[in-house]
Amino acid sequence: MRIALAQINTTVGALAKNADRVIHFLEQARDQGADLVVFPELTLTGYPPLDLLDRPSFITHNLEALDRVAAATAHLPAALVGFVHREEGRVGTGLFNAAALCAEGQVKSIHCKTLLPTYDVFDERRYFDPAPEVKVAEFRGHRLGISICEDVWNDAQFWSQMARPRRYEVDPVERLAAQGMDLLINISASPFTEGKRAFKREMFAAVARRHGVPLIHVNLVGGNDSLIFDGWSNVFNRDGEIEVQARDFAESFLVWDTESQTAGEGAMEPTTGEEIETICEALTLGIRDYLGKQGFRSAIVGLSGGVDSALTCALAVRALGAQNVVGIAMPSQFSSQHSLDDAAALAQALGIEYHAVPIYPIFERYVESLKPIFQDRPFDVAEENLQARVRGNLLMAYSNKFGHIVLSTGNKSEMAVGYCTLYGDMSGGLAVLSDVPKTMVYELSNFLNREREVIPWNTIRKAPSAELRPDQFDSDSLPPYEILDPIIRAYVEEGLFVEEIVARGFEEAVVERVIRMIERSEYKRRQAAIGLKVTHRAFGYGRRMPVARGRDF
């Protein structure tokens, strides 16, 4: 039997378009002589469909899309396609995250997800009931163990070897194995995060070895709001070795022969190598899809001459092309000439449209208008923020006039400690770097500069400054980023608290100050633009914190 791995880029909510894409790949599979084509999790609805699932008509339309796919298999290869299954009259939601095996014009069998992740960015218990039963599918003399994403993430042996607790009592793969399977299939929508791929590789290999069957893993590719799916679909043989591997960060279509245990051309498509390269690719795909899936083609970035805006702009050019990116420098009276020069040099190196609009005259006009109320109160955070907000307004005005989406440029370190201005530099449709710590901003910038100077070296090397008052530097308000970033990671990503972080060798006073800054900035993050998730725990949807709260523990 020849099985195709169809690693496609679906769009959340685009039922008809997703079904069209499935049928398009079934046609390609027919041309390549495949018997069965495997698609990613929730193929038809896209992932994550979120509260679209609350609308009964959405579920109905998803079932109609499934009918269309099933009908197409009358004259095309069989399809294993993800959809939302509904059983009326049940206690619970009556909805299941499911896979349909479609062949000969019909839905042959339906396989529901047993393990429903409900942590971090996942809310599956909100929407779905767990599979009422687990059963092997018979297809062309094979016994297929069909599993959905999290279903393979609970192998008792593997977690025990990793010395980490299991999340669930049940292992659906064991149940499939008990019925006898000769092939394990896993359809996934597993988002990219740094370091996750090495872990997944070990885990899939362990599962394949333990049950002595090949494992076909088809993962979603594409960006959907903050989540970036990296694809990296593959076939593990019964020894846990990778036989076939799809590209990462792009659609991919591969055929594997179960008899010969071989694959045709492209069995090992090129994937990104180093971690920093995968993060770069993830951010690029995240920008492209967030804009593209909303119908935007172009972006505008405010260029301060600093490294965050330079990196954001360079990534935007990678994602959208230089002709679709506009850079605007908005110097204040506190901006140094080198900032303006660096911004212009970046725009030139990237080959993008570039403008400069000084904010001083507008800022002065605000100050004058506020004088009757402010009287002689000294310059403080009110005036600092006003400058950032004038810049935000200019970007939004440009966006409204020409239809470019504004990319905001704040990094995760700033977002964590609140070193950013609501409605100012936080303005924008997408916060490209809001999950990228400052130290990683430098790593990415160095990576982009490997072949030629894209981001001016001067931008990378100078001391970071917000330039909102004379001689201001980040180091006046914040610990050095080499200290700040590991504290943020320990607190935000690992959930550690003061004493545990201090035990890693940081000063207690610094740790407490950083935590206090993080907690006090929650209100800003609540109004932040959607950010692209690349670390284990990002701000936003996967981290839900109260704003009005006590802090006396």
Judge whether 41 counts as a catalytic residue. yes
> Of residues 102, 112, 113, 313, which has the active-site annotation?
113
Query: Around 47, how many Cα atoms within 13 Å sit in the side-chain half-sphere?
Result: 30
Q: In angstroms, what is the minimal distance from the CB of 459 to a copy of itself?
A: 24
Which lies closer to a copy of itself via its Cβ, residue 18 or residue 114?
18
Q: Write the DSSP string, 360-380.
A: HHHHHHHHHHHHHHHTTPPP-
State the DSSP code for 248: B
Q: In angstroms, what is the minimal distance from the CB of 62 to a copy of itself?
A: 8
Paired residues of 98 in beta bridges:
83, 112
Which lies closer to a copy of itself via its Cβ, residue 77 or residue 331?
331
Which lies closer to a copy of itself via its Cβ, residue 25 or residue 122?
122
CB 534 within 8 A of CB 437: no
Q: Which two tokens stand for residue 109?
A: 């069998």
Which lies closer to a copy of itself via its Cβ, residue 182 or residue 522?
522
Q: In angstroms, what is the minimal distance from the CB of 57 to a copy of itself?
A: 4
Question: Which SS3 state, helix, strand or coil, does residue 135 take?
Answer: coil
Q: Which two tokens stand for residue 477?
A: 């308000």
3-state secondary structure 136-161: CEEECCEEEEEEEHHHHCCCHHHHHH
Q: In angstroms, what is the minimal distance from the CB of 77 to a copy of itself?
A: 25
Which lies closer to a copy of itself via its Cβ, residue 223 or residue 456?
223
Q: How far apart are CA 89 and CA 533, in angstroms?
A: 38
Which lies closer to a copy of itself via its Cβ, residue 69 or residue 263?
69
Query: Around 544, how many Cα atoms within 13 Å sit in the side-chain half-sphere?
Result: 8
Question: Distance of CA 425 to CAs 236, 328, 417, 444, 461, Å?
Answer: 46, 13, 14, 21, 22
Which lies closer to a copy of itself via its Cβ, residue 360 or residue 447?
360
Which lies closer to a copy of itself via its Cβ, residue 235 or residue 287?
287
> Of residues 102, 112, 149, 313, which has the active-site annotation?
149
Query: Going by C-beta distance under 8 Å and a sequence separation of 6 or more, which residues neighbour residue 195?
Result: 275, 536
Q: In angstroms, what is the minimal distance from the CB of 66 to a copy of itself?
A: 13
Our CA angle for 36, 41, 42, nearest 5°, is 110
Question: What angle do helix axes 360-374 and 381-402 make, rounded to 10 degrees?
Answer: 130
Q: In angstroms, what is the minimal distance from the CB of 547 to a copy of itself?
A: 5
Q: How far apart are CA 214 and CA 199, in angstroms?
A: 18
Q: In angstroms, what is the minimal distance from the CB of 527 to a copy of itself?
A: 5
Judge whether 364 counts as a catalytic residue. no
496: alpha, beta or left? (left if phi > 0; alpha if psi -120 to 50): beta
**Residue 96 backbone phi and psi in degrees, to 5:** -135, 135
Q: How far apart are CA 475 and CA 205, in angstroms?
A: 46
Single-letter code of the amino acid located at 362: I
Judge whether 196 counts as a catalytic residue. no
Q: In angstroms, what is the minimal distance from the CB of 357 to a copy of itself?
A: 6
Pairing verdict, β 221-224 and 227-230: antiparallel
CB 188 within 8 A of CB 217: yes
Question: What angle do helix axes 15-31 and 56-72 make, rounded to 10 degrees?
Answer: 20
Which lies closer to a copy of itself via its Cβ, residue 50 or residue 276?
50
Single-letter code of the amino acid located at 283: L
CB 94 within 8 A of CB 87: yes
Q: Cβ of 300: how many Cβ atoms within 10 Å?
A: 28
Give the catalytic positions in this structure. 41, 113, 149
